[in-house]
Amino acid sequence: MLKYDAVPGETIKEAAAAMSKMANEMNQQVKCVFNDIELIADVGCDLADTIVAQFWKESDRRSKEYAESEEYKKQRIEMDRKHNERLSKQKAMLDKAPFQMSLMDHRLWKVAVETNKDGYGSCVVRYADKWARLMELQMSEGVALESCAEEMAHLADDEGITGFMYGCAVGILAKVWLHGESLRVWHNLDCQISNEGEKANSTGGILNPALLNVRVGE
């Protein structure tokens, strides 16, 4: 039996097609372990979809098995405990924080709120508001923005925002919040891989092309 090694980044569909081709060309069965699941391509089998179906069937079986395991139940209990602790901490801090962030541009903030009432956009706006207020609380206690921004970014997230949404929130705050410029500079340096953040800071940009997808007015 021949062995096929999937390359990094290869999808199951691509691996299945390569296995099927190898089996038919070499006239031997081909084995491949993809995401810890062993798959076999038989000679004469030129339907990669069959191998893909086998993979997803076994993947689903394992997922269901794990979901019913004691290990998963314990993990869920611990995750729920940490989530509830975070929510309690967030509420306690927001109760002490300013009722509204210190706005640099009231009109633009109003535009952002009014034009993002859909589920996605409104989530970004709510997140931006909580994040800014939490950072302001920290700064009022003598903590530098650069020292609390990341921790407060996580604490503010109680709706499961994506990286895309996070970048949008940075873009909104950079335009409306009193400390938005400091946040923009920190964000660019925090996100950069080489020196693109420094370049963005020098031009007034933000490392987030997705910013254009959330409307914050002109």
**14 vs 217: CA distance, rounded Å:** 44
pTM greater than 0.85: no
Say what the pLDDT of residue 46 is: 65
Flag whether 39 is in a domain: yes
Flag whether 101 is in a domain: yes
**172 vs 183: CA distance, rounded Å:** 11
Indicate if 144 and 206 belong to the same structural domain.
yes
Indicate if 204 and 109 belong to the same structural domain.
yes
Indicate if 134 and 170 belong to the same structural domain.
yes
Tell me the CB-side half-sphere exposure of residue 13, using CA atoms within 13 A: 1
CB contact at 8 A, 94 and 134: yes
Indicate if 126 and 176 belong to the same structural domain.
yes
Residues of the chain under the 70 pLDDT cut: 45-46, 208-218
Indicate if 94 and 166 belong to the same structural domain.
yes
Indicate if 108 and 63 belong to the same structural domain.
no
Amino acid (1-letter code) at residue 77: I
- Residue 108: domain span: 78-213
Indicate if 170 and 110 belong to the same structural domain.
yes
Flag whether 45 is in a domain: yes
Flag whether 218 is in a domain: no
Flag whether 72 is in a domain: no
User: What's the pLDDT tens digit per position in 109-146?
Assistant: 999 999 999 999 999 999 999 999 999 999 999 999 99
Say what the pLDDT of residue 45 is: 64
Indicate if 96 and 63 belong to the same structural domain.
no
Mean pLDDT of the chain: 90
Indicate if 96 and 189 belong to the same structural domain.
yes
Indicate if 102 and 136 belong to the same structural domain.
yes
Indicate if 179 and 92 belong to the same structural domain.
yes
Say what the pLDDT of residue 49 is: 86
Say what the pLDDT of residue 215 is: 42
Closest CA to 22 of 52, 46, 53: 46
Indicate if 146 and 178 belong to the same structural domain.
yes
Closest CA to 214 of 167, 160, 159: 167
Structural domains of the chain, count = 2
